[in-house]
Amino acid sequence: MFSKLNYTGTITEQYQLVSKQLDALLDGEKDMIANLSNASALLNQFLDQINWVGFYLMKDGELVLGPFQGLPACVRIPVGRGVCGSAVEQQHTLVVDDVHAFPGHIACDAASKSEIVIPLIKNNAVIGVLDIDSPIVSRFTAEDQKGLELFVHTLLRHI
């Protein structure tokens, strides 16, 4: 359906296009798991130099593994622990250039070297996070952050 080869223009334009594709893909569907599954698949084919992309969802006061693309992952993450738990606690995006230098990093995949985590905030509450790992140090730029935050904003309209 989609191919990285179809994305042209600036990185900002590419993120705008993938967000529009997400909006069209999720149009009319209200099931959160189905929508998160398609969102992670879409990002997995769109982004290069990543080794994991997916969601953790808040359940009983902790993050629990949700739909993802990649190797098996940690199932539960306490709020305040690791990059994902810290993003929930701080309620803002965290970009980590070198996960091995991040205090309390949870190593689910030893190949991961950098990470971006974007909280999913709906009705003033964190309902989960989008987590993306890369085997490349400093993989995620300010443009990636802005584009992925747009992607999450689009996603939140469908869940």
| C-alpha to C-alpha distance for 122 and 63, rounded to whole angstroms | 15
User: Could you tell me the sign of the dihedral formed by the alpha carbons of 4, 7, 12, 18, in that order?
Assistant: negative
3-state secondary structure of 60: coil
Q: What is the dihedral of CA 83, 115, 156, 75, to 10 degrees?
A: -60
Is the whole model's pTM more than 0.75, yes or no?
A: yes
Q: Whose CA is closest to 85, among 66, 104, 70?
A: 104
Distances (CA, A) of 48 to 75, 132, 137: 25, 11, 13
pLDDT tens track of the chain, all 159 residues? 344 557 889 999 999 999 999 999 999 999 999 999 999 999 999 999 999 999 999 999 999 999 999 999 999 999 999 999 999 999 999 999 999 999 887 877 788 999 999 999 999 999 999 999 999 999 999 999 999 999 999 999 999
Look at residue 131 and give its three-state secondary structure: strand
Contact 61, 69 (CB under 8 A): no
Name the H helices within 66-115.
82-90
Question: What per-residue confidence (pLDDT) applies to 1?
Answer: 37
- Both structure tokens of 15: 């993120």
List, in order of start, the domains of the chain with CATH numbers: 4-156 (3.30.450.40)
Q: What are phi and psi of 68, to 5 degrees?
A: -155, 170
Tokens of 3: 């191919």
